[in-house]
Structure 1
Amino acid sequence: MIAETSKGAIVNATSEFSQPELLVGLLLAHLLADFYFQPYSWVKQRNERHALALPLYLHALLHGVLALIALALLSDSYSMVTTGTGALIIAVSHFKIDVIKSYCSQNTTAFVIDQFAHVIVILVVFLYVTNQWHSALELIKQLGAGHLAVILAYLAVLKPSSIIIKQLLSPWSSEVLTNKTPSAHPNDTPTITTEAQQTLSLAGQRIGYLERVLMLTFVLLNQFSAIGFLIAAKSIFRFGDLTKHQDRKLTEYVLLGTFTSVAMTFAIGLACAALLGHMPIKSQ
């Protein structure tokens, strides 16, 4: 089967890697230096003064020192030049990446790209110090249809699914998301402003992303009971809306969106599972 073949190939390729403790040590050094040993005042000065901020140099130096310790203790290489070069690459690259980040908006996208760049540098240093470029190339070559199917499934449940769900619900969106007409009755729900609607809409989009990613993961792991728990947990948070008679349209809209999201995720997950060769329901 595709899943078994791909998994076996990956295991064989990864078994060729040596010194995995060094990679873990370098990642641990990055985690400590970037999140635990970096005060907020350093981050603030970096964002305000950019390359002129003294704490930025101290931060990069700290990364280099911790990387050097990890390389010295966990690497089988006895070459001081190789070890020192690896630590220097991490320190200098971290400085340059953080300078670039200081000019960008401080949002989630910038944070993810920043961390991804740091991790790539650490992987490159690991391969450089251990001289395992061939093993890395072999691992990439072993990626098969099953792995690509999983990547495709996770990408499909994010923005593409969000756009499709929005289009499917568009006939009812105007009835729910537009401002309510003012009423003299004191018990009526207050009018929702346009700014508040946009904020809730963005929050709802992020919630939808997380919801579908979790459901897809549970489908691929054949843990359908966890999906029921996820839907039940969401229903509890929506209980206030469900008990308000004046918000019946909003309740129906939320339920329609939820079940559309669940159906799409199930369809994508089952299609991916079929390609992987482990459908949860098999014919006798």
Structure 2
Amino acid sequence: MINMILLISHILADFYFQTNQIVKGKYKGVRWIFIHCMIHFGVMLIVTGSVIDSGEYRRLLFACVSICVVHGVIDSIKCKILKRDQNSKYRPMLFLLDQALHVITILIGSTVFDLKLDENNGILQSVFSFALTQEVLVILLAVLICWRPASYFVAEVFSVVSRKSQNGDSTEDNEIRIGSWIGILEREIILLLGLMHQFGAIGLVLAAKSLARYKQLEDKEFAERYLVGTLISTLVAILAVVMCQYFKVAN
């Protein structure tokens, strides 16, 4: 369970507490990477520290420092690679590799420092013991992944699929934002339906989305982008459902 809490902390720090200013700043200097790592450290320490025994704090502190140092190194290498070629066709793969390395770092750090959840003495664990279960944490992780991380990944794929230059048109920007929200709602609804075992209803969600874009689908380029985005969103949501079901069976 402690691994799940650390992963939730990582998702929160990497996607929900990382501003656009920090994302752009990391390409300009080490200072912004340091700020990003300090945010990671704070979120990980606060979230994880609230559910473990006070006797574990020293090991947790060393674990968070180690994980954040490695996180900074990984981000520095990634930024150097992308700085050379901002339009690299490997951006989606780098995104996945970057996240995979962060996850592996967290799992190794948790194992090396032998972090364990104290089910009786943790602050939140003692207050919300009925809610802080492995199954609930997995569902929370799945919801968080289907929100911002999936949106970033779809955007990275689109940066490769679409080679058209952005003209900064406000109408186009507004349409992109609306499309992003549609994708988020689509993934969360599919996740909810999957957890309820209502897989047949997923087709209705995709059909409703296609109906709203019916006229635009006559444009071949838009249709291709639409299909790529829809398939990626659906894949992420289904993988999130599979993850939840796997941990449910494992328990």
Q: TM-score, normalised by structure 2?
A: 0.47
Q: TM-score, normalised by structure 1?
A: 0.42
> Which is greater in Rg?
1
